[in-house]
């Protein structure tokens, strides 16, 4: 298992931050140890996939989920994208369950966990899909709106809470409708809630249509902010999220469908924006 994670870290080395796919891409939000939901998704979908982070903690099958996602990556390196979430962090894993889960499941848990942390470090923290969608776990960094600048710090490369403020915000920020620009986040220092004017500036400046992110639990498994330009996906009904109806999204050339995992039917369709 240690070897498996070492190989996985190598597979993530040099991951591009700009990706294109001519086929539809399935986008999966926070899984938090929910192997059942991941398996349901995989029984319905074959093809390119992007994961928005938070594979572990809270649910009790974090190890299985992380291993499965990395296996998909290894099998299909150019069609599977594995982003980092704020729970891909030792500080979080100590507190929210993943380290405890490993201690129970794996005799060599310390060495295994060291290998897993090396994988976290290699995970990119954002990507642009088809020049159309900005994929990230948390959100837009409020003071750095140029994708060019963001791409320079797109790999957090720091083990615990990334010290780079851009990386930290991409992993932790949330959208808000309360203010137009931004305000401090209750999640902690250095983290912000970004308003609609930040989203509009960011998307227009970079010629992107949508921000697709995870990070926030909602019972319906998704929510829309900022005039439907920010889409939140939540794909876990494990542990504390038992009442969630997990959602994923499918991005094609001309639209974005939000899909209910249990029924595998679209609950919302967003058309490509032409007014860019
Ligand atoms: Mn999160």
Question: Given a cut of 50, is residue 276 above it in pLDDT?
Answer: no
Active-site residue set? 87
- Residue 275 reports pLDDT greater than 60: no
Cβ burial, residue 235 (10 Å; 0-12/13-18/19+): buried
| Alpha-carbon dihedral angle through residues 215, 242, 225, 163, given to the nearest 10 degrees | -10
| Burial letters 169-196, b for 16+ CB under 10 A, else e | bbbbbbbbeeeeebeebeeeeebbbbbb
223: CB partners within 8 A, 6+ apart: 216, 231, 232
pLDDT tens for 16-73 read 777 777 789 999 999 999 999 999 999 999 999 999 999 999 999 999 999 999 999 9
Q: Could you tell me the distance, in angstroms and rounded to a whole number, from the CA of residue 86 to the centre of ligand 1?
A: 5
The pair of structure tokens assigned to 5 is 């994670």
Quote the pLDDT of residue 197: 97
Residues pairing with 233 in the sheet:
222
DSSP-assigned states of every residue in 114-177: HHHHHHHHHSBSEEEETTTEEEESS---TT---HHHHHHT-B---SSS-SSHHHHHHHH-EE-S
Place of tokens 């926030």: 216
CA–centroid distance, 275 to ligand 1, in Å, is: 31
Mean per-residue pLDDT over the chain, rounded: 92
Q: How far is the CA of 58 from the centre of ligand 1 (A)?
A: 11
Q: What is the pLDDT of residue 163?
A: 72
What value, to the nearest 5°, has the Cα angle with vertex 94 and ends 77 and 10?
A: 20
Confidence of residue 10 (pLDDT cuts 50, 70, 90): confident
**CA of residue 11 to ligand 1 center, whole Å:** 23
Q: What is the spatial distance between Cα 163 and Cα 33, in angstroms, rounded to a whole number?
A: 26
**If pLDDT is split at 50, 70 and 90, which confidence band does 220 have?**
very high
Please report, for the chain, the start and end positions of each structural domain, with discontinuous segments joined by +. 2-11+24-271
Burial of 234 (0-12, 13-18, 19+ CB in 10 A): buried
Q: At what angle do helices 35-44 and 62-75 cross, to 10 degrees?
A: 30
The whole-angstrom separation of Cα 199 and Cα 184 is 16
Q: Residue 169 Cα, ligand 1 centroid: separation in angstroms?
A: 11
pLDDT of 160 reads: 58
Model-level pTM? 0.95
Residue 264 has pLDDT above 60, yes or no: yes
Tokens of 126: 């954002």
Cα-to-centroid distance, 238 and ligand 1 (Å): 14
Q: How far is the CA of 143 from the centre of ligand 1 (A)?
A: 21
- pLDDT band of residue 155 (cuts 50, 70, 90) is low
2-11+24-271 is classed CATH 3.60.21.10: yes
């Amino acid at each position: 298992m240690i070897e498996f994670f070492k190989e996985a870290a190598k597979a993530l080395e040099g991951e591009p931050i700009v990706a294109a796919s001519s086929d539809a891409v399935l986008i999966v939000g926070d899984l938090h140890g929910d192997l059942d939901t991941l398996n349901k998704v995989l029984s319905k979908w074959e093809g390119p996939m992007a994961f928005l982070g938070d594979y572990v903690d809270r649910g009790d099958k974090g190890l299985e989920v992380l291993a499965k996602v990395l296996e998909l990556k290894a099998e299909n390196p150019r069609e599977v994208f594995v982003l980092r979430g704020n729970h891909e962090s030792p500080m979080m894993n100590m507190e929210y369950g993943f380290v405890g889960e490993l201690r129970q499941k794996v005799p060599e848990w310390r060495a295994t966990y060291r290998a897993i942390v090396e994988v976290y470090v290699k995970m990119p923290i954002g990507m642009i899909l088809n020049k159309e969608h900005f994929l990230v776990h948390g959100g837009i960094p409020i003071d750095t709106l140029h994708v060019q600048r963001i791409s320079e710090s797109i790999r957090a490369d720091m083990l615990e809470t990334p010290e780079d403020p851009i990386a930290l915000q991409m992993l932790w920020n949330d959208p808000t409708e309360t203010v137009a620009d931004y305000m401090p986040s209750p999640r902690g220092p250095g983290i912000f809630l970004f308003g609609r004017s930040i989203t509009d500036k960011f998307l227009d400046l970079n010629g992107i249509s949508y921000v697709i992110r995870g990070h926030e639990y909602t019972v319906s498994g998704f929510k829309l902010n900022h005039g439907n330009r920010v889409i939140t996906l939540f794909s876990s009904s494990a542990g504390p999220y038992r009442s969630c109806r997990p959602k994923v999204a499918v991005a094609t050339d001309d639209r974005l469908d939000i899909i209910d995992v249990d029924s595998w039917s679209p609950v919302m369709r967003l058309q490509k924006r032409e007014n860019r």
